Amino acid sequence: MPDDFYEQTPDANAAATEGVMNTIRTADMFFDRIGRLLRPLGVSAAGGLVLGILRDHGTMSPSELGERLIVTRATVTGLLDSLERRGCVIRSANPADRRGLLVSITPAGLTVVKEVRTIIHGNERDWMSVLSDAELRTYVELLHRIQDRLVRS
Amino acid sequence: MPDDFYEQTPDANAAATEGVMNTIRTADMFFDRIGRLLRPLGVSAAGGLVLGILRDHGTMSPSELGERLIVTRATVTGLLDSLERRGCVIRSANPADRRGLLVSITPAGLTVVKEVRTIIHGNERDWMSVLSDAELRTYVELLHRIQDRLVRS
DNA sequence: ACGTGATAGTTAGGCAGCGTATTGTCAAGA
DNA sequence: TCTTGACAATACGCTGCCTAACTATCACGT
């Protein structure tokens, strides 16, 4: 998002606008870099998140995956389609509820998620290295405050 | 993006990861809220950006729009298709270069962009009101430092 | 004058997200 | 029992973003 979108606004909103626009721009950059780093592994950024969750928390339903990812169930369906095609996860019937499924990570998926983490962690550390430890703590705290405001719509 | 994706990482990367993930999550929230606010106007968040640029800088080529938006020309094609369908912009031939086009905002587009700004500015101010002026300045400065690091890949 | 490479825009195909509608299943109350 | 409302997953259509390939045009160097 370009700086100049709102440059004609001379009032007190300018600072708030800059905060919002720069947040979005920075996140876009992160997401873009992560996607490029993961492409050689054959998974998307979203797919990497799914595998990480399955690795840490084990088999779960698509709905629960959606809650953890903060996306809709419809989106989870598509993500699982991709991951299943690549052999990273399998869907099986939930014996306790015939409406539901259970999603499990495969050995191939475990291999992928291991590589994902190695790649991403190093880069994240690098990206944030321009902030001191104290600045990073401040930054995260400010983000949390903004998020708290946002969840209250 | 869920907090717990990387929770099993006990080393020094945890703070950096939290910074990256929270940036993405916050931006997602911003983008979602903006999209919902703009839906009644019949334009997407990206469409609103295009109209704002055209309003501030006048007629320009799709390529230049793409540079300002930091998206590819192919993406601009799609955005202009939508905006043209809604009567907000028109494409015309560039008399100086028969390869190129010129995109102009229409009176209807001007009306829309005015409403967009009114709606968005008030909300941005509200969202960022949880930070003091000094904190907001700090926040934006930290974002700029991170962005500077990111543009150097 | 004429290739040759660069540029402008589109198209095609893919992924990821959404909202909405649909189908099947569960659970609770009449 | 049976109906009714909630829930699980999917299908469909839309937007937005990408890359790659294509056509048309330009601009430069020979």
Q: What is the pLDDT of residue A75?
A: 95
Residues 104-133 of A with CB under 8 A from B: 117, 120-122, 124-131, 133
Q: How far is the CA of A45 from the C1' of C11 (A)?
A: 27
B97 alpha carbon, distance to own chain's centre? 29
Distance (Å, whole) CA A61 – CA A68: 11
pLDDT tens for residues A97-152?
999 999 999 999 999 999 999 999 999 999 999 999 999 999 999 999 999 999 88
Q: What is the pLDDT of residue A11?
A: 52
B44 touches strand C (CB under 7 A): no
Q: B140: which chain A residues are within 8 Å (Cβ-Cβ)?
A: 15, 18-19, 22
A30 confidence band (pLDDT: 50, 70, 90):
very high
For A56, the closest of B4, B49, B126 (CB atoms) is B4
Q: A127: which chain B residues are within 8 Å (Cβ-Cβ)?
A: 16, 20, 146, 149-150
For A124, the closest of B2, B13, B131 (CB atoms) is B13
Q: How far is the CA of A137 from the C1' of D13 (A)?
A: 43
A8 confidence band (pLDDT: 50, 70, 90):
very low
User: Residue type at B59?
Assistant: T
B25 and A23 in contact (C-beta within 8 Å)?
no
Residue whose pair of structure tokens reads 């998926």 in the numeric block: A109
Distance (Å, whole) CA B150 – CA B20: 12
Q: Answer left, alpha or beta for residue A70, where phi above 0 means left and psi between -120 and 50 means alpha.
A: left
Domains plus CATH for chain B?
Answer: 43-151 (1.10.10.10)
Using CA of residue A144, residue A148, residue B1, residue B3, what is the dihedral sign? positive
Cross-strand partners of B104: B90
Distance (Å, whole) CA A72 – CA A26: 24
Residues 74-103 of B with CB under 8 A from A: none
pLDDT of B20 higher than 90: yes
3-state secondary structure of B18: helix
Ranking A22-31, A97-106, B7-16, B31-40 by mean pLDDT, the lowest is B7-16
pLDDT tens for residues B88-117?
999 999 999 999 999 999 999 999 999 999
pLDDT of B5 higher than 80: no
Q: Which of residues 92-111 of B touch strand C (CB under 7 A)?
A: 94, 97, 99-101
pLDDT of A9 higher than 60: no
CA dihedral B124, B125, B131, B132 (to 10 degrees): 150
pLDDT of B6 higher than 60: no
A135 and B113 in contact (C-beta within 8 Å)?
no
Average pLDDT of the residues in B20-32: 92
Report the residue of A20, A118, A137, A138 to disrupt the B interface, i.e. the one with the largest count of B CBs within 10 Å.
A20
Distance (Å, whole) CA A74 – CA A71: 8
Q: What are the C-alpha distances in Å from A22 to residues A140, B142, B145?
A: 15, 10, 11
pLDDT tens for residues B28-55?
999 999 999 999 999 999 999 999 999 9
**List of residues 6+ apart from A8 with CB closer than 8 A:** B56
Report the residue of A13, A23, A125 to disrupt the B interface, i.e. the one with the largest count of B CBs within 10 Å.
A23
Task: Provide the mean pLDDT of chain B.
Answer: 91
pLDDT tens for residues A11-21?
567 899 999 99
